[in-house]
Amino acid sequence: MSLNSNSCSLKDRIIKEGKVLPGNIIKVDGFLNHRVDTTLMEEIAKQFAEIFDISKITAVLTAEASGIPVASICAHKFGVPLIFAKKAKSDNIENGLYKSELFSYTYRKTVTMIVSTEWLKPEDHVLIIDDFMAMGNAVTALIDIVGQAGCTLEGIGVVVEKGFQGGGDKLRARKELNYHALAVIDRADENGIVFREEE
């Protein structure tokens, strides 16, 4: 996949503003997943629209909570609803649920992601969008939910992937999946951030 100037802009922001914390934690919350640069998110949505066939998509799916900003802007750009998997059952969800458990490295515990059966139907064509991937557990849980619903998974788009933790490579190895990450970080330490060469 060749990356255009939009992804270079993303990489520039990661280099300029990203922080590497102990334990190979990469902090990009100044523009991606806490304080959000909505103009950059619009550029990212355009990039995903070039990668995936959005004419087929009927919904964008993401995980609560940090994936919501970028996925919401993508859904708006693509003219489809956003559905986000909740990480705890709330009283306002009626009827059936799709559920998938995962270990969250952010929260250091097992969480259950849920989506109401009211909002995902077998006729849906779903694009998964997430802000950040390390081990790939959240995206794998979302794939599981799409499978439970009997939907067609049209693709998986991730903004930033920590390539050295293997989650993205596991998804790439599954040839039936249309997986793309805009920025793949192969190394992050006291010497800085190094991106994977374009494939």
Domain ranges of the chain: 5-85+117-195
Summarize pLDDT for 121-136 with one digit per residue, the tens: 999 999 999 999 999 9
3-state secondary structure the chain: CCCCHHHHHHHHHHHHHCEEECCCEEECCCCCCCCCCHHHHHHHHHHHHHHCCHHHCCEEEEECCCCHHHHHHHHHHHCCCEEEEECCCCCCCCCCEEEEEEEECCCCEEEEEEEECCCCCCCCEEEEEEEEECCCHHHHHHHHHHHHHCCEEEEEEEEEEEHHHCHHHHHHHCCCCCEEEEEEEEEEECCEEEECCCC
The more confident residue out of 184 and 103 is: 184
Full-model pTM: 0.90
In this predicted structure, what is the pLDDT of residue 5?
40
In this predicted structure, what is the pLDDT of residue 197?
81
pLDDT at 78 over 60: yes
The class level of CATH for 5-85+117-195 reads alpha beta
